[in-house]
Structure 1
Amino acid sequence: MTGRDGSETSEVRSRDSIHVVDPLQVPWSVATPAPGKGDPPGEELTAFASPDGRFTFGLTRRQSLHREIVWAHHEVALILEGEVEITASDGSVVRASPGNVVVTPRGTSGVWRSLTPYRKVWAVYE
């Protein structure tokens, strides 16, 4: 499967029954660093994808990231660890830390910058 940033990701497909995905037992994929940036690659795990591929849920962990992004999908993310700062194209700035939920509508553009290493769970709807 192709990840949200275009790289190949590990994925657990939908099943017909309730099941548990243990992130410690499933391989994570390398999340591609931004071209021309000094950011190290992160890791991503797609824990669920709907059969039509329009809804996905997963986890991301990164040491650092500073990237301009245009969100091609709706994303809701729960910050588990670390702190991030998002500067929207209108100049508004939000910070998120553990326990905060970041809601990003499709078409939003801005700069995502980690202030510390972070982990998040995310849900994406295309």
Structure 2
Amino acid sequence: MLILVILVPAVAMATLAVVLRRRLAGLSLMTWLGWLLVGAGLPVLAGQLLSLSFSGAVEAEIARCETAGGADCGDPAVLLIFPLVGGLSGALGWIAGAITARLGGGRNEQ
């Protein structure tokens, strides 16, 4: 499961950067750096907001588990980790795709 949480956002964001490679390669350095930061920041922000939205349910599950005696609870906090990891891997995928687009010069290699 964790491998999917890592691979899917990374591949999706790298693919997006490669699809936009002509536009990214044509930007000035400072504009490209701005898009690099925005493209990397949005998946991280989305992961943080999603994790924050899950925090109430995780807190309720932990409280329910504690009142039941703490037996067979598992680890409900793992639910908070997946969106954060997905956001970070999406950001790294975007960075990798944007750098290859910049270094490749926007060539269409087919």
Which TM bucket (shorter chain)?
under 0.3
Q: Say which structure is richer in helix.
A: 2
TM norm structure 2: 0.24
Larger relative contact order (CA 8 Å, sep ≥ 6): 2
TM norm structure 1: 0.22
Q: Say which structure is richer in strand.
A: 1
